[in-house]
Amino acid sequence: MTSDGSSSSPRGPLGDGPAVSASPPGVRSLFREVLAALTGGSHDYTSERLNRAIFLLAIPMVLEMVMESIFAVVDIFWVSHLGSDAVAVVGITESMMAIIYAVAMGLSMAGTAVVARRIGEKDPDGAARAAVQVIGLGVVLSLVLGLIGGVLAPHLLAAMGASPEAIAKGGSFTRVMLGGNITVFLIFLINAVFRGAGDAAIAMRTLWLANILNIALGPCFIFGWGPFPELGVAGAAVATSVGRGIGVLYQLTCLIRRSGQLTVRRRHLRFEPQVLGSVVRIAVTGVGQMLIGTTSWVGMTRLMAPFGSMALAGYAVAMRLVMFAILPAWGLSNAAATLVGQNLGAKHPARAEQAVWTAARYNFYFLGGVGILFVVLAGPIVRLFPGEPGMHEFGATALRIIGLGFPLYAYGLVLSSAFNGAGDTRTPTLMNFFCFWVWEIPLAWALARPLGLGPKGVIIAIAVAFSTLAVMSVVVFRRGAWKTQRV
């Protein structure tokens, strides 16, 4: 019998349920599996057939990330109608928001790792207690960062090299994005908790709800369509905050009212120093890991800024397109993290390792194909965005260079997530420090300045650093120390 009580023989292509005699059986069985993945439900990922477990987790996680990546591209599309200064401010603000994302994602790693481990140990009460501590810590940190960012927004833009014209045009965008970062924290953290519990469908629905609202409201607030005020570039930030805020309300409703792998009750809403200590121990190096990686983007943007708004705008468009491709790949990576955490909790380390290599192989197929498209069609893709010829030319060059490394990035993404899912955030933190600070930034400066490659040198350094990280991750992962990590 399968987990839903259906007969287990003969089996469909994913090993679940009987094959349907009417034609074609494989298509109908696949449709049932997709429907099961999208609707969610309780599954035991420590005993479920491995390919099916990856499928059930990855489908909603990939679709979750697809919507996030679509929003990133649509957002920059509308803002690009306001000129290169507006696009440059968005690019610089995103590099500063990367610090917010880093802290939120570092906490999210702890949330996923601890919740997944408790679920694997068949301790849903412990998972709920850990979830509350993670969310509470995120709220406190977001309020502190929001106050600092909201007050200092124009000064931060100036320090990042933005021109006075760009600051005048887009300073309010930066203030809203930094000041309203609590929605970023909560949507990241609660989704991470759901993923750790194996409730990937809820995380998917949250981002679809939030980002559909973002996409619909963005041009309304930017251009003043209908009854909405015309806010210019700041309208993009307002739409983002409203959309994410409604997504958070949906998450909280699911977290409190539903009955599933993880439900928070009134008895869980208390401060628990011991549980919080376990979360913080993982989160500290997780935050450090993400800060190292994402603040390197701040450094790269700062190296790019002296080459002018054209280079910055082309860089911003190329990076949004890269994120459009990589975010779905993170969906597969998140599936691997959940499977690692739950299977280590159930004392199945060999199954955890097998899940990682399987997910990495699927990721290689996906990102390798996207990389080929970027290399071949970079020019036409970048020209879909309004802008000057100089922006298009540099954006296409950046897209081609980074696309060449996509097959390697595929393995690096999954293996880094596997370390984090095991609660071993220290190992990828050390690798990130070497690849992005000791290696990438000095290389970018050397290529751009002494060797005379200009902004192209910065892009080459990005591709080299991420490829180096992927190779290092494979070598260290094979050693297997992550299997003994305590959470």
pLDDT digits (tens, 9 = 90+) for 96-105: 887 788 889 8
Q: How many CA atoms lie within 13 A of 108 on its CB side?
A: 23
379-392 burial: b if 16+ Cβ within 10 Å, else e: eebbeebebeeebb
Measuring CA to CA, how many Å separate 108 from each of 103, 115, 131, 184, 216?
8, 10, 10, 11, 28
Those residues whose C-beta lies under 8 Å from the C-beta of residue 183, and which sit 6 or more positions away, are 241, 244, 245, 247, 248
Query: Does 427 score more than 70 pLDDT?
Result: yes
Structural tokens at position 415: 């293996």
CA distance 324 to 280: 31
CA distance 313 to 381: 15
Position 251 confidence tier, pLDDT thresholds 50, 70, 90 = very high
Which tens digit of pLDDT belongs to each residue from 304-315? 888 888 888 889
Q: Is the pTM of this model over 0.75?
A: yes
CB 236, CB 221: distance < 8 Å:
yes
Q: What is the rounded (10 degree) CA torsion for 265, 269, 275, 276? A: 140
Query: Does 17 score more than 70 pLDDT?
Result: no
- Parent domain of 371: 48-484
Number of domains into which the chain is organized: 1
Residue 259: per-residue pLDDT: 64
Those residues whose C-beta lies under 8 Å from the C-beta of residue 116, and which sit 6 or more positions away, are 195, 196, 197, 198, 337, 338, 340, 341, 342, 345, 421
Any domain includes 29: no
Any domain includes 11: no
- Mean pLDDT over all residues of the chain? 86
Residue 150: per-residue pLDDT: 87
CA distance 399 to 460: 11
DSSP string, 270-288: S--HHHHHHHHHHHHHHHH
Which of 286, 283, 284 shows the shortest CA–CA distance to 432? 286
Residue 1: per-residue pLDDT: 36
What is the DSSP code (8-state) at residue 440?
Answer: I
CB 249, CB 204: distance < 8 Å:
no
Structural tokens at position 342: 């739950």
Query: Does 38 score more than 90 pLDDT?
Result: no
Q: What is the mean pLDDT of residues 73-85?
A: 79
Any domain includes 42: no
Residue 72: per-residue pLDDT: 65
More confident residue, 177 or 323: 177
Which tens digit of pLDDT belongs to each residue from 217-227? 999 999 999 89
Please state the φ and ψ torsions of residue 64, each to the nearest 5 degrees: -60, -50
**Which of 77-91, 128-142, 146-160 has maximum average pLDDT?**
128-142
Residue 87: per-residue pLDDT: 81
Q: Which amino acid is at 403?
A: G
Residue 373: per-residue pLDDT: 94
Any domain includes 447: yes
More confident residue, 250 or 17: 250
Q: Exposed/middle/buried for 439, CB within 10 Å: 0-12, 13-18, 19+?
A: middle
Any domain includes 229: yes
Position 228 confidence tier, pLDDT thresholds 50, 70, 90 = very high
* Percent over 90 (pLDDT), the chain: 51
Any domain includes 19: no
Position 24 confidence tier, pLDDT thresholds 50, 70, 90 = low
Q: What is the mean pLDDT of residues 122-132?
A: 92
Measuring CA to CA, how many Å separate 186 from each of 124, 126, 256, 312, 324?
21, 20, 15, 30, 22
Q: Which amino acid is at 48?
A: E
Query: Does 416 score more than 70 pLDDT?
Result: yes
Structural tokens at position 277: 């200590």
Residue 69: per-residue pLDDT: 66
Please state the φ and ψ torsions of residue 74, each to the nearest 5 degrees: -65, -40
Position 8 confidence tier, pLDDT thresholds 50, 70, 90 = very low
Q: What is the mean pLDDT of residues 452-470?
A: 93
Structural tokens at position 107: 């906490």
140-162 burial: b if 16+ Cβ within 10 Å, else e: ebbeebbeebbeebbebbeebbb
Any domain includes 13: no
Any domain includes 432: yes
Residue 108 CB neighbours (<10 A): 30
* Percent over 70 (pLDDT), the chain: 93
